[in-house]
Amino acid sequence: MIKFEHVSKTYPNGVKGLQDINLEIEDGEFVGIIGMSGAGKSTFIRTINRLNNITEGKLTVDGVEISNLKGKALRRFRRKIGMIFQSYNLVPRITVIRNVMSSLVPDMSLWRVILGLFSKDDKIRALKALDRVSMLDKAFVRTDQLSGGQQQRVSLARTLAQNPSVLLADEPVAALDPVTAHEVMDDFKRINDELGQTVLINIHHVDLALDYAKRIIGIRAGRVVYDGPVSGVTQEILDNIYSKNEAE
């Protein structure tokens, strides 16, 4: 479970990224986070794995207050939280399988990292992750030969290989065409359904959020202005989420 208790985030320049967030996300949920650009969606996502530190309140994941984590404890915690970005963050001139196996480096000994030695189990783990996103046939292709959608699937496979309990995705389909965006969202849904992994997606496309997520969190001016099932999202609620006026 992920639990926000009066969580706020104020940046050094005084901008309030989040304001008094109170909510719980149960294990296995598929949550779509929607709102205008600058509303605080990315800030919300990135507080969960401590890419952004909160400035007020309490944020716990599986009962652990993450603000207290430091050093090795923080690194171990982050291994349980997978993160997928819009920009893929892949190494273009190496093969797909080596990109996926790069997620295993933190668990390897220093000499294996230096020599680039991956075990048979590492390779099997990477191949299984690629199979999950229908990219097994591209395992030994150089990554820079793939389309944008294929690269995002490799990015997802790389995250799956580290066996996280939570998947965070920050605008994962923003750069993709509509058909490819649906294909990538299909992967997220299948992973959520089959593996039971918690999925939180910050997504610009409202239609995709409503098609794939089971729960919607609407953020405006750093505040949650809607939190509920997809079936409860009306045009009036969307108008409120995307209003240019600050939340009360």
- Looking at every residue in the chain, the average pLDDT score rounds to 91
Work out the percent of the chain whose per-residue pLDDT is above 70: 94
Look at residue 114 in the predicted model and tell me its pLDDT: 55
What radius of gyration do the chain's Cα atoms show? 18
CATH architecture of 82-163: 3-Layer(aba) Sandwich (3.40)
The model's pLDDT over 46-86, given as tens digits with 9 standing for 90+, comes to 999 999 999 999 999 999 999 989 988 998 898 899 999 88
Look at residue 116 in the predicted model and tell me its pLDDT: 67
CA angle 81, 84, 85 (to 5 degrees): 135
- At 170, the amino acid letter reads D
Residue that has been written with the tokens 């320049």 in this structure: 13
Kindly report the pTM of this predicted structure. Answer: 0.89
Residue that has been written with the tokens 């610009």 in this structure: 204
The model's pLDDT over 115-160, given as tens digits with 9 standing for 90+, comes to 567 788 889 999 999 999 999 999 999 999 999 999 999 999 999 9
d(CA 167, CA 110): 27
Alpha carbon distance, N-terminus to C-terminus of the chain: 28
Domain limits of the chain?
Answer: 82-163
Look at residue 248 in the predicted model and tell me its pLDDT: 42
